[in-house]
Amino acid sequence: MSLDAPHKHFVPYVPKPGEEFMSSEQLAHFRGILETLKNQLMGGIERTVHTMQDEATVFADPNDRASQETDIAIELRNRDRERKLIKKIEETIDRIESGDYGYCTACGVEIGIKRLEARPTATLCIDCKTLEEVREKQIAK
């Protein structure tokens, strides 16, 4: 399961003329997206645990055993990424509750509905995110 694909199956929010940014309707829209994504990720983690318990086979052939161990390692790495995303989703829901959701943590401007729908856990506006990526590239050199 892709980390950002599950939330793509929602109806995009269309703001009403004159509607205030991050109105209660908008916050409910994004909370719904975040909670749906979290539930899907949690379900995937539970399925992985059950599958790994059910498929705990000891192979006599070293190649089969190595293949199984590689598959398990990849699955665990994916689930760890999803666990981190769940934590980020929970932090984002906390930002909704505190009234900080939708605003850039660096400069305070509105992040924008379309950007938030593309990445509901975004904390930076596009300009600050671009600047952050440029700095990361400079440090990496």
Specify the CATH number for the domain of residue 60: 1.20.120.910
Q: Which two tokens stand for residue 120?
A: 């509901």
Residue 34 lies in a domain: yes
Per-residue pLDDT of the chain (141 residues; tens, 9 = 90+): 444 454 567 889 999 999 999 999 999 999 999 999 999 999 888 887 777 766 666 777 888 888 888 888 898 899 899 999 999 999 999 999 999 999 999 999 999 999 999 999 999 999 999 999 999 999 986
What pLDDT, on the 0 to 100 scale, is given for residue 110? 96
Cα gap 40→73, rounded to integer Å: 21
Residue 29 lies in a domain: yes
Q: Tell me the β-bridge partners of 110.
A: 103
Which residues have C-beta within 8 Å of that of residue 89, sequence separation ≥ 6?
34, 37, 38, 41, 120, 121
Residue 73 lies in a domain: yes
Cα gap 92→94, rounded to integer Å: 5
What pLDDT, on the 0 to 100 scale, is given for residue 56? 65
Q: Which domain holds residue 84?
A: 18-102
What pLDDT, on the 0 to 100 scale, is given for residue 7? 52
The string of DSSP letters for the chain reads --SSSGGGSSPPP-PPTTPPTT-HHHHHHHHHHHHHHHHHHHHHHHHHHHHHHHT----SSHHHHHHHHHHHHHHHHHHHHHHHHHHHHHHHHHHHHHT-TTB-TTT--B--HHHHHH-TT--S-HHHHHHHHHHHHHHH-
Number of domains in the chain: 1
Residue 120 lies in a domain: no
What pLDDT, on the 0 to 100 scale, is given for residue 134? 96
Residue 88 lies in a domain: yes
Residue 69 lies in a domain: yes
What pLDDT, on the 0 to 100 scale, is given for residue 130? 96
Type of residue found at 51:
T
What pLDDT, on the 0 to 100 scale, is given for residue 8? 61
